[in-house]
Amino acid sequence: MRRLNRKKTLNLMRELDAFPKVPESYVETSTSGGTVSLIAFTTIAFLTIMEFTVYRDTWMKYEYEVDKDFTSKLRINIDITVAMRCQYVGADVLDLAETMVASADGLIYEPVIFDLSPQQKEWQRVLHLIQSRLQEEHSLQDVIFKSAFKSASTALPPREDNSLQSPDACRIHGHLYVNKVAGNFHITVGKAIPHPRGHAHLAALVSHDSYNFSHRIDHLSFGELIPGIINPLDGTEKIASDHNQMFQYFITIVPTKLHTYKISAETHQFSVTERERVINHAAGSHGVSGIFMKYDISSLMVTVTEEHMPFWQFLVRLCGIIGGIFSTTGILHGFGRFVAEIIFCRFRLSSHRSKSVPLLDGHTSNHLPLMTDSSTH
C-alpha cells in the first residue's frame, strides 16, 4: 500500500514537471547554434563578473532631516599659521549671543618658520591637487567618507630640515567649544581682552609696520576630528599684498552623521566663500586687519550611510542576466536563421530559373527534363 501511494506521488510530481526533458535523439544541433551559444556563455561570464564587482562595492546614501539639537556645543578644530610673531596676534570667537570664547581654553600659540620645507611643500602640492579634483568630481567625496580612518593623516608633516632661521610666524592650533549658533572666529592684531560691550584687542602696542596677515590654513574642521577627511580649506595659503589687509571666509556648516562599516561619527561638512580686501579708510574701505571666519549653521542635518547590495538582490539580478541572455540569444538566433533561409531559398529559386529547357517552338520550359540522354540508352 505504501509502495502504491509512493508511486502515485511520483506520477503526480512527474505530471507537475515544468521542465520536460527532450531526448537527445530529438535535438537538432547546428554550427550557428553552437556559435551563438559560445557568444552567450562568454557574455554571461563577463556580466557575472561585472555584477559580482558591483555586489562587492558599496555606496553612500544621503538622508536629510531637521537638526533639533540646539543645546550641544560645536567643536572647532584649528591649525593656522600666521606670518607674525605670537606676541603680536590674538585669536578668539564671538558668537551672536555676544559670548566670547577665550583662546586660552584650547588654542596653542607656537613660534614657527612660515616658509615650508621641501617635504612640506610636496604635501601642500598634493593636497591642492586633491582639492581641485574634489571640486571637479564631487563623487570623490564618497570615496573619502568610506576611506576615513583607513587613509593617512592629512595633517602637515613636521619639518625634516634643521633650519637655523629664527621663528618669524605663529602657528595657532588646537580646538574650541562654542555655542551652536552663528559666530565669528578671528585672528587679529593684539591679544583679546574681555569688555563689557563685547571684547577688544590690544593693537595699540603693536607697530603698524609689523602687520602681516599672510597665512596658511593647514586644517580647519567642525565637530569630531576624523583622520582622512579632507576639508575645503585644508592647505589654503594666502599672501598679503599690504600691511592693512582683511581676509574673510564666509562658512556655512551642515551637521553630518557619518555611518560606515568602519566608523560611526558625528561631524560637520561646510562650504566656504572667500573674500579679501585692503583696508583704506580714505578710500572708504573700512574694517580691521586680520583673518575673519564667519560661520553659520544650517538647520538641516545630513545622515550619510554606507550601504551594500543584499545577497538576495544579487541573486535576482544574476538570474535575470542569465535568463535574459539565453532568451535574447535564442530569439536572435531564430530570427537570423529565418532570414537566412529566406535568402537561400530565393537564391536557389533564381538558380533554378536560370536552368530552364528550350522547346522546339521557341518557347522555354521552366521544368527540368525527366530523363537525360544517358538514361535513354
Residue 240 in 3-state DSSP? coil
Residues 6+ positions from 10 with CB-CB distance below 8 Å = none
150-154, 170-174, 247-251: least confidently modelled range: 150-154
The H or E element that residue 54 is part of is: helix 31-56
Question: Does 147 score more than 90 pLDDT?
Answer: no
The DSSP 8-state label assigned to residue 239 in this structure reads -
> Is the distance from CB of 77 to CB of 170 less than 8 angstroms?
no
Give pLDDT, residue 146. Answer: 64
Among 74, 78, 69, CA closest to 267: 74
Please compute the mean of the pLDDT values over residues 237-264 and round it to a whole number.
Answer: 88
Give pLDDT, residue 375. Answer: 43
Per the listing, cell 526533458 goes with 21
Q: With bands split at pLDDT 50, 70 and 90, how would you rate the model's confidence at 251? A: very high
Distance CA 85, CA 140 (A): 38
Considering all CA atoms of the chain, what is the largest pairwise distance in Å, rounded to the nearest integer? 137
Give pLDDT, residue 372. Answer: 46
Q: Which amino acid is at 227?
A: P
Hey, which residues does 358 pair with through a beta bridge? 364
CA angle 118, 121, 122 (to 5 degrees): 90
Q: With bands split at pLDDT 50, 70 and 90, how would you rate the model's confidence at 138? A: low
47-61, 123-137, 146-160, 203-217: least confidently modelled range: 146-160
The H or E element that residue 301 is part of is: strand 300-308
Per the listing, cell 634643521 goes with 162
289-329 pLDDT tens trace: 899 999 999 888 988 888 888 889 889 988 988 888 888 88
67-109 pLDDT tens trace: 888 788 889 999 999 999 888 888 888 887 666 665 556 788 9
Give pLDDT, residue 262. Answer: 77
Question: Does 365 score more than 80 pLDDT?
Answer: no
14-44 pLDDT tens trace: 776 666 666 666 666 677 777 878 888 888 8
Give pLDDT, residue 368. Answer: 47
Distance CA 176, CA 95 (A): 13
Provide DSSP, 317-365.
HHHHHHHHHHHHHHHHHHHHHHHHHHHHHHHHHHHHHTTPEEPTTS-EE
Q: With bands split at pLDDT 50, 70 and 90, how would you rate the model's confidence at 354? A: low
Among 185, 294, 182, 298, CA closest to 249: 294
Give pLDDT, residue 374. Answer: 44
Among 73, 106, 129, 79, CA closest to 266: 73
Is residue 325 classed exposed, middle or buried when 0-12, 13-18 and 19+ CB atoms within 10 A define those classes?
middle
Question: Does 332 score more than 50 pLDDT?
Answer: yes
Please compute the mean of the pLDDT values over residues 229-241 and round it to a whole number.
Answer: 88
Give pLDDT, residue 191. Answer: 76
> Is the distance from CB of 81 to CB of 218 less than 8 angstroms?
yes
Instruction: Determine phi and psi for 146, rounding to 5 degrees.
Output: -70, -25
Please compute the mean of the pLDDT values over residues 276-297 and round it to a whole number.
Answer: 86
Q: With bands split at pLDDT 50, 70 and 90, how would you rate the model's confidence at 274? A: very high
Distance CA 346, CA 344 (A): 5
> Is the distance from CB of 308 to CB of 58 less than 8 angstroms?
yes
Give pLDDT, residue 370. Answer: 46
pTM over 0.85: no
The DSSP 8-state label assigned to residue 280 in this structure reads B
Hey, which residues does 273 pair with through a beta bridge? 250
Percentage of the chain with pLDDT > 90?
12
- 245-259 and 300-308 beta bridge pairing: parallel
Please compute the mean of the pLDDT values over residues 207-218 and round it to a whole number.
Answer: 87
Question: Does 252 score more than 80 pLDDT?
Answer: yes
Residue 279 in 3-state DSSP? coil
Among 116, 236, 215, CA closest to 170: 215
103-112, 136-145, 168-177, 360-369: least confidently modelled range: 360-369
Question: Does 194 score more than 70 pLDDT?
Answer: no
